[in-house]
Amino acid sequence: MTESLAITKLSDLANPTRFMALVGRLVPWLAAVTALLFAIGLYLSFTTEGDYQQGDTVRIMYVHVPAAWLAMMCYTVMALSAVGTLVWRHPLADVSHKAAAPLGAAFTLLALITGSLWGKPMWGTWWTWGDARLTSVFVLFLMYLGLIALNRAIDDPSRAARVSAVLILVGFVNIPIIKFSVEWWNTLHQKSSVLRLDGPTIDPEFLRPLLVMALAFTLLFFTLHLAAMRNEILRRRVAAQRRMAARMASRQDAA
């Protein structure tokens, strides 16, 4: 390869080889910053004060809220990638939403488990189907699992990408439902206290560790997503080269 791998304009990212070079440079730095933020975030999570009513269970918030935030952000990243697949037929967009689905499923499951572990001591129940927030997040988890299954069921990667892109965009309707479920319906789950038009209503003592942990989790997601996209590109190269090897072998047999 003699041509430069430098990315000078956004469209250069369309070249998977250039993308791979960029990921190779970015991932170690992102991983280092993520680890540093987790160290600070975990220190703050366990050294700041507990809540006067909830006691130390408020510390569950520092993993529960970032996990829930990532569950929705990951789906939004997938929806944007799905637009890239359907409108521009961009192979990197296909790779992006395929690589993001297992990460989204993991963070959604984490939000559900930590929410349950917070609900039991504070609400007196692990789970209730009558709560719109809980149920809509559970539906999001099922959608992630469905998308993973769909991607695995279709062999042709570009066909799998188009079918899942349509499904992702249809399912995106669930994201505003999750966000506003606590406003639209009566729920056990509390209303928003951080992302509000009139500013956060949460005490700075809790807001500081929460924001550091949210940033750490967000960077963790992007580090893993970029690395998983690189893995998916490698997987497709392996498949393409195996097909080429099979063609060469059959040509030799015929000769």
Partner 1 sequence: MNYAFYVLTSYGVAAAMTLCLIAWVWLDGRARRRELAELEASGIRRRSFQPKTEPAPPSNGRETKA
- Return residues touching partner 1 (CB under 8 A): 1, 16-17, 50, 55-57, 59-60, 63-64, 67, 91-92, 95, 102-103, 106, 109-110, 113-114, 117-118, 120-121, 158, 220, 224, 227-228, 230-231, 233-245, 247-248
Q: How far is the CB of 185 from partner 1 (least distance, A)?
A: 26
Give the residue with the Cβ less far from partner 1, 67 or 214: 67
Give the residue with the Cβ less far from partner 1, 106 or 132: 106
Q: How far is the CB of 143 from partner 1 (least distance, A)?
A: 19
How far lies 44's CA from each of 24, 32, 192, 202, in Å?
31, 19, 22, 16
Give the residue with the Cβ less far from partner 1, 122 or 177: 122
Look at residues 10, 81, 41, 53 and name the one whose alpha carbon lies nearest to residue 213: 41
The set of residues, in sequence order, having a beta carbon less than 8 Å from that of 145 and lying 6+ positions away, is 105
Q: How far is the CB of 129 from partner 1 (least distance, A)?
A: 21
Q: What is the rounded CA–CA span in Å between residue 97 and residue 103? A: 10
Q: How far is the CB of 199 from partner 1 (least distance, A)?
A: 27
Give the residue with the Cβ less far from partner 1, 55 or 130: 55
Q: How far is the CB of 59 from partner 1 (least distance, A)?
A: 5
Give the residue with the Cβ less far from partner 1, 57 or 193: 57
Contact 67, 220 (CB under 8 A): no
Question: Cα–Cα–Cα angle for 115, 116, 120, nearest 5°?
Answer: 120
Beta strand segments in the chain, E: none
Q: What is the dihedral of CA 224, 230, 234, 237, to 10 degrees?
A: 140
